[in-house]
């Protein structure tokens, strides 16, 4: 598909509803067009080096002969850079006919912003006005005509006759780009409906249980690093943390290569916990060198073990579709050499509280309750957690104060905040709970992540004084939450204070 054809389509979509856009795409049955690239152009970000409106605008203005002074005001008056081009776009003296691939792919692989900008401008100056407008709109992500991810998903299904449930399942385990490529090649989504070892899957998560009725598997809740363990048919291993970061190197001593039978391929879900020489579980703090240690010697100072509690796929079977009980049986049958979660079947409040009390006495955080026949739901917060009644918050660090005495040279306390009605609200400071190693690690981490340091904080209660100031009673630092980007969130102060 040529850029000229694409620009005409994008312009026509401005006067259509999303449904009409979908129907228009589906009705175009010209198979000579590169539909894969068309869909990528609707959905992709074509610069990973920061090419955007602010960077491009001065160069576009120079090309069009516009004055730099007052340029942003002019853009604001027209409603955006693409709209400005609609008014001031000029006809190229040497028009070239770019395919979508030739127009956009070089930008996607440019190694730096200067190269990307040069490639953009070379193409821009050789396009007609409508092409200029939509080329720019795509690159700076200002299309504003309704043609985006949702239109792509729905039109792909209709154009290539993909059942909606199959498409939805494929999206659980693959990014949209992968699906576009497979579908446009006529391969459908059959192979994409089973998670592929080596490709991170968003983990299923838990929410606080509001009632304790029903029958569940009551898994003990470990205080460790949530991890996903992958091994493909060639024996290649990947370990991902909760955010999808590859942490294989830091936990190579778990020997995932040896799990199960020699040629098994699988994705297992679990927790990595620190242990002493006798295998007893240690506090989470002891695992910090594994996360932040810069040498193998430092990282391996404390031993770890993996606790497995779920399986997403086994030898190309869609085990995520099994009930939880059957998934546990699959793990027990095929992985006799791994540590499997402590769990029991419980029914009703009395049995759940009994299992909870036992878990707390044994040093665990609480329980995670999972339905007997509940399937694995990637990215959904559909398990239930039952934890102690103390305050447990993920707080963003708003400021830090240097310490004195033994803490001289390090931050001694940190001002904390949580989200209340979409605003960060201060809830006081924390200066206790830190080991000597914590002081160093947290100091360095905060210096490198001033706007995004999240801490897990435990306290007895949240308080509010007569002036409305919120604070924590007996707050103590538990750990850095390097796996999270946002603090705990509340609708209002009443929900926070309880």
Contact (CB, 8 A) for 433 and 477: yes
pLDDT tens string 128-159: 999 999 999 999 999 999 999 999 999 999 99
**What distance in Å separates the CA atoms of residue 197 and residue 268, rounded to the nearest whole number?**
10
Which H or E run contains 413? Answer: strand 411-420
CA distance readout (Å), 44 to 107, 115, 177: 11, 19, 8
Of 225-229, 386-390, 396-400, 420-424, minimum mean pLDDT range: 386-390
Instruction: Write out the two tokens for 143.
Output: 């299309």
225: nearest Cα among 160, 282, 156: 282
At residue 44 the predicted structure's pLDDT band, cuts being 50, 70 and 90, is: confident
> 236: how many CB neighbours lie within 10 A of its CB?
13
**What distance in Å separates the CA atoms of residue 50 and residue 113, rounded to the nearest whole number?**
6
At residue 283 the predicted structure's pLDDT band, cuts being 50, 70 and 90, is: confident
Which H or E run contains 292? Answer: helix 288-292
Q: What is the pLDDT of residue 297?
A: 81
Q: What is the pLDDT of residue 298?
A: 80
pTM: 0.69
Q: Phi then psi for 248, rounded to 5 degrees?
A: -55, -45
> How many H-runs (helices) and E-runs (strands) does the chain carry?
18, 18
Helical residues (DSSP H) of 18-78, grouped into ranges: 18-27, 35-43, 53-64, 71-78
Contact (CB, 8 A) for 209 and 386: yes
Instruction: Write out the two tokens for 292.
Output: 């932040």
pLDDT tens string 73-83: 888 888 889 99
pLDDT tens string 394-435: 999 999 999 998 899 999 999 999 999 999 999 999 999 999
Contact (CB, 8 A) for 240 and 228: yes
Contact (CB, 8 A) for 93 and 53: no
The pLDDT of 94-119, averaged and rounded, is: 92
Q: What is the pLDDT of residue 389?
A: 58
Three-class secondary structure of residue 207 per DSSP: strand
pLDDT(366) > 90: no
**What distance in Å separates the CA atoms of residue 264 and residue 1, rounded to the nearest whole number?**
43
**What distance in Å separates the CA atoms of residue 238 and residue 486, rounded to the nearest whole number?**
26
Q: What is the pLDDT of residue 176?
A: 94
The pLDDT of 101-124, averaged and rounded, is: 93
**What distance in Å separates the CA atoms of residue 158 and residue 169, rounded to the nearest whole number?**
16
Contact (CB, 8 A) for 267 and 307: no
Contacts of 492 (CB under 8 A, 6+ apart): 420, 421
Read off the DSSP letter of residue 107: H
Q: What is the pLDDT of residue 299?
A: 80
């Amino acid at each position: 598909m040529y850029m000229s054809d694409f620009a005409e389509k994008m312009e026509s979509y401005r006067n259509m509803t999303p449904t009409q856009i979908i129907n228009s795409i589906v009705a175009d049955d010209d198979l000579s067009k590169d539909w894969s690239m068309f869909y990528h152009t609707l959905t992709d970000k074509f610069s990973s080096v920061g090419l955007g409106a602010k960077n491009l605008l001065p160069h576009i203005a120079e090309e069009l002969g516009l004055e730099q002074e007052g340029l942003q005001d002019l853009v604001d008056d027209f409603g955006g850079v693409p709209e400005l081009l609609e008014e001031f776009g000029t006809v190229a003296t040497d028009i070239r006919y770019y395919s979508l691939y030739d127009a956009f792919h070089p930008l996607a692989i440019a190694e730096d912003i200067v190269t990307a900008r040069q490639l953009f401008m070379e193409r821009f100056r050789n396009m007609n006005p409508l092409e200029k407008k939509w080329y720019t709109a795509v690159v700076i992500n200002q299309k504003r005509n309704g043609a985006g991810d949702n239109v792509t998903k729905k039109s792909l299904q209709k154009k290539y006759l993909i059942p909606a449930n199959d498409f939805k399942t494929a999206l659980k385990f693959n990014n949209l780009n992968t699906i576009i490529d497979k579908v446009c090649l006529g391969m459908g989504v059959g192979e994409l409906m089973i998670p592929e070892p080596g490709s991170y899957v968003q983990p299923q998560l838990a929410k606080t249980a509001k009632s304790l009725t029903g029958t569940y598997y009551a898994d003990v809740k470990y205080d460790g690093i949530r991890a996903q363990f992958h091994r493909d048919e060639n024996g290649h291993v990947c370990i991902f943390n909760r955010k999808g970061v590859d942490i294989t190197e830091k936990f190579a001593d778990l020997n995932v290569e040896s799990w199960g039978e020699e040629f098994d391929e699988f994705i297992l879900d679990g927790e990595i916990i620190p242990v002493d020489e006798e295998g007893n579980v240690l506090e989470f703090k002891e695992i910090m060198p594994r996360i932040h240690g810069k040498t193998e010697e430092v990282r391996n100072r404390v031993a770890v073990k993996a606790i497995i509690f779920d399986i997403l796929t086994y030898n190309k079977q869609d085990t995520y579709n099994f009930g939880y009980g059957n998934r546990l049986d699959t793990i027990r049958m095929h992985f006799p050499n791994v540590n499997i979660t402590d769990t029991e079947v419980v029914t009703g409040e009395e049995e759940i509280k009994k299992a909870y009390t036992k878990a707390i006495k044994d040093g665990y955080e609480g329980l995670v309750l999972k339905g007997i026949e509940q399937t694995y739901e990637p990215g959904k917060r559909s398990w239930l957690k039952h934890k102690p009644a103390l305050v447990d918050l993920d707080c963003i660090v708003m400021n830090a104060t240097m310490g004195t005495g033994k803490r001289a040279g390090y931050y001694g306390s940190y001002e904390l905040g949580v989200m209340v009605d979409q605003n960060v609200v201060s809830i006081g400071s924390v200066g206790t709970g830190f080991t000597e190693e914590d002081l160093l690690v947290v100091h360095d981490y905060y210096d490198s992540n001033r706007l995004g340091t999240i801490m897990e904080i435990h306290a007895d209660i949240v308080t509010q004084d007569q002036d409305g100031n919120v604070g924590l009673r007996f707050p103590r630092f538990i750990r850095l939450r390097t796996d999270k980007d946002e603090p705990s969130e509340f609708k209002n102060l009443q929900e926070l204070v309880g």
